[in-house]
Homo-oligomer: A and B are copies of this chain.
């Protein structure tokens, strides 16, 4: 048995394979992650992967866990202690989740969009931390709906938001969509409504935007500029 002094211990080899697969996934997409390519990139033989991970899905799971671990350890790890405001904790967790999805598009699409197969360990781990955060809301008496319902709603909203953002070109992404979705869910979930913004002004503005293209007496440039400003005003996060 390789004690410690081998050129590369079993864990080292494992880590090297995971690193190679991660790099391949990030730089060349999911289709480039093939057992042979990973083995060659890691400097091992193909069957080694099967001895260490059992399966290609096992490799993917290990990659997901590794990327998630290095991501959370790369963050400042603040506010993880259960000290702060439960709502603020959920918010920061949500932001981290969205940011993670946008930072690792290939990986996220790979693990979050499994058909009817069993969810990946990374997915259930993420669900667990989300469950803890929702649990804190419940024990604080802040929830208006069933705890399980709240969990599913936050999870669905987050997953859907990330997939929607990933599905559109980088420069067209509505980065405030995440905040808006979280606000929507929180408003329906929390007992204490977190202050909804004004209504009449925005409604009128939105209605006006729909008739803008038919407005006579304006140049196209003027109309485009007005549309852009309207969009910016309506998209602006209300403090």
CB contacts (< 8 Å) of A176 on chain B: these are 149
Copies in the complex: 2
Residues 98-135 of chain A, each 1 if its beta carbon lies under 8 Å from chain B, else 0: 00000001100110111110010000000000000001
Q: How far is the CA of A207 from the CA of B166 in the complex (A)?
A: 36
Interface residue? A159 (CB, 8 A): yes
Query: A193 CA to B143 CA in the complex, in Å?
Result: 20
Q: Does A164 contact B (CB under 8 A)?
A: yes
Neighbouring B residues of A209 by C-beta, 8 Å: 138, 146-147
Q: How many residues of A contact B (CB 8 A)?
A: 68
In the complex, the answer to whether A160 meets B156 with C-beta atoms within 8 Å is: yes
Interface string of A158-196 (1 = CB under 8 A from B): 111101101100000010110011011101110111001
Interchain CB contact under 8 A, A166 and B116: yes
Name the segment of A41-49, A70-78, A198-206 touching the other chain. A198-206
Bound complex: CA A161 to CA B185 (Å):
12
Of all chain B residues, the one with the shortest Cβ separation from A199 is B191
The verdict on A19 contacting chain B, using a C-beta distance below 8 Å, is: no
Tell me if A7 counts as interface (CB < 8 A to partner B). Answer: no
Interface hub of A30, A153, A176, A196 (most chain B Cβ within 10 A)? A153
Query: Is A82 positioned at the interface, with any CB of B under 8 Å from its CB?
Result: no
A4 contacts B by Cβ under 8 Å = no
CB-nearest residue of chain B to A204: B141
Residue interface mask A25-49, B partner, CB < 8 A = 1: 0000110000000000000000000
Q: Which residues of A contact B (CB under 8 A)?
A: 29-30, 105-106, 109-110, 112-116, 119, 135, 138-149, 152-153, 155-161, 163-164, 166-167, 174, 176-177, 180-181, 183-185, 187-189, 191-193, 196-197, 199-200, 202-204, 206-207, 209-211, 230-231, 234-235
List 8 A-B pairs, Cβ < 8 Å.
A29-B115, A113-B115, A138-B206, A145-B180, A145-B206, A153-B180, A156-B160, A156-B161
